């Protein structure tokens, strides 16, 4: 049984809750939406046998604090950078799923020597040069970015949208258990949590501009990159791999079998093995 240690770090603008396990070279895991660090619970035991694992709740989400602003991914990733500095970590492997992916990309683009290897799971990178606006399964992006309306519609009904996402974007409707949905909902019903969630989406245009500017200035990422997408996802398929090819030079990856979007919970052993193999490569 892997022991998970729950800790808090008081940073400049935010207090981050994070989970740690294992020892060795650091591996940082960044979660997606509407999830928290809880999404890594099945992957961490595999990684912790070989590495020191750090999995924070991102700004505004989980059991981290909820500032009014700062949800552009340069700022969110800087929270993670500050956390690692408090832990004395100067170089590491980095993994991001869903919104954790663009956060991880921003961190890697800003600190290219520190991020030894980067893995991105089932998400495209804003500002990679592609146009994803015609993907109808991503309707919620525009909806969440609409000022005030989602707050009004889902006040005291947060479970409706969270359950809908879990039931419709996995390969199987029941891929996230009732118990785990309750754990996610516990944090998303906290005051300010849904506002923070929408803010991740509302900053998407700025994220695209920031990423484009970093790529223009410093070129594509040069560290090894693993890009994996759910084979049964909502129209993504190879989109993750293709997106990372546009922003990084050394990309490998492909599809996660029998998985929709919630890849760390639908196929945790596949993800863990893929990461361990990737980290072990010279």
Domains of the chain: 5-280 (3.40.50.1820)
Q: What mean pLDDT, rounded, does the chain reach?
A: 95
pLDDT band at 63 (very low <50, low <70, confident <90, very high): very high
Euclidean distance between CA atoms 81 and 203, whole angstroms: 19
**Which residues are part of the catalytic machinery?**
98, 201, 261
Q: How confident is the model at residue 135 (pLDDT cuts 50, 70, 90)?
A: low
Residue 167: Cβ-neighbour burial (10 angstroms; 0-12, 13-18, 19+): middle
Q: Answer yes or no: are the C-beta atoms of 19 and 29 closer than 8 Å.
A: no
d(C-alpha 87, C-alpha 8), whole Å: 11
The rounded distance, in Å, linking the Cα atoms of 39 and 231 is 19
Mean pLDDT, to the nearest integer, of 147-156? 94
> Model confidence over 74-102: pLDDT tens digits?
999 999 999 999 999 999 999 999 999 99
Which tens digits make up the pLDDT trace of 219-258? 999 999 999 999 997 656 799 999 999 999 999 999 999 9
Do the Cβ atoms of 7 and 20 come closer than 8 Å?
Answer: yes
Q: 4 preceded by cis ω (within 30°)?
A: no
Question: What percentage of the chain carries pLDDT values higher than 70?
Answer: 96
Long-range contacts of 39-43 (CB under 8 A, 24+ apart): 39/97, 39/262, 39/264, 39/265, 40/264, 41/4, 42/264, 42/265, 42/268, 42/269, 42/272, 43/264, 43/268, 43/271, 43/272, 43/275
More confident residue, 137 or 274: 274
pTM summary value: 0.97
Question: pLDDT at position 137, please?
Answer: 63
Q: What is the pLDDT of residue 132?
A: 56
CA distances from 249 to 117, 222, 241, 244, 256 (A): 12, 5, 12, 9, 22
Whether 104 and 39 have beta carbons less than 8 Å apart is answered as no
pLDDT value of position 136: 52
Is the model more confident about 72 or about 138?
72
Q: What are the helix and strand counts (H, E) for the chain?
A: 12, 8
Give CA–CA dist 8/64, Å, rounded: 8
Q: What is the per-residue pLDDT across 2-42, written as a single tens digit (0 to 9) for each? A: 889 999 999 999 999 999 999 999 999 999 999 999 999 99
**First and final C-alpha spacing in the chain:** 30
């Amino acid at each position: 049984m892997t022991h998970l240690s729950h800790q808090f770090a008081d940073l400049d603008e935010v207090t981050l809750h994070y989970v740690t396990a294992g020892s060795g070279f650091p591996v940082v895991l960044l979660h997606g939406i509407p999830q928290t660090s809880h999404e890594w619970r099945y992957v961490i035991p595999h990684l912790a046998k070989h590495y020191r694992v750090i999995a924070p709740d991102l700004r505004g989400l989980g059991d981290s604090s909820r500032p009014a602003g700062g949800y552009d991914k340069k700022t969110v990733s800087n929270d993670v950078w500050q956390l690692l500095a408090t832990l004395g970590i100067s170089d590491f492997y980095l993994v991001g799923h869903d919104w954790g992916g663009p956060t991880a990309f921003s961190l890697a683009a800003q600190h290219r020597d520190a991020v030894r290897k980067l893995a991105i799971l089932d998400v495209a990178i804003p500002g990679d040069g592609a146009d994803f606006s015609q993907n109808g399964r991503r309707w919620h992006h525009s909806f969440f970015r609409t000022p005030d309306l989602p707050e009004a519609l889902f006040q005291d009904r947060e479970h409706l949208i969270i359950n809908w996402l879990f039931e419709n974007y996995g390969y199987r409707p029941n891929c996230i258990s009732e118990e785990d949905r309750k754990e996610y909902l516990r944090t998303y019903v906290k005051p300010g949590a849904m506002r923070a969630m929408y803010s991740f989406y509302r900053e998407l245009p700025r994220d695209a501009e920031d990423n484009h500017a970093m790529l223009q200035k410093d070129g594509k990422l040069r560290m090894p990159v693993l890009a994996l997408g759910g084979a049964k996802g909502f129209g993504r398929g190879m989109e993750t791999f293709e997106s990372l090819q546009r922003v990084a030079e050394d990309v490998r990856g492909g599809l996660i079998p029998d998985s929709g979007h919630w890849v760390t919970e639908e196929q945790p052993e596949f993800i863990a093995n893929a990461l361990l193999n990737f980290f072990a490569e010279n």
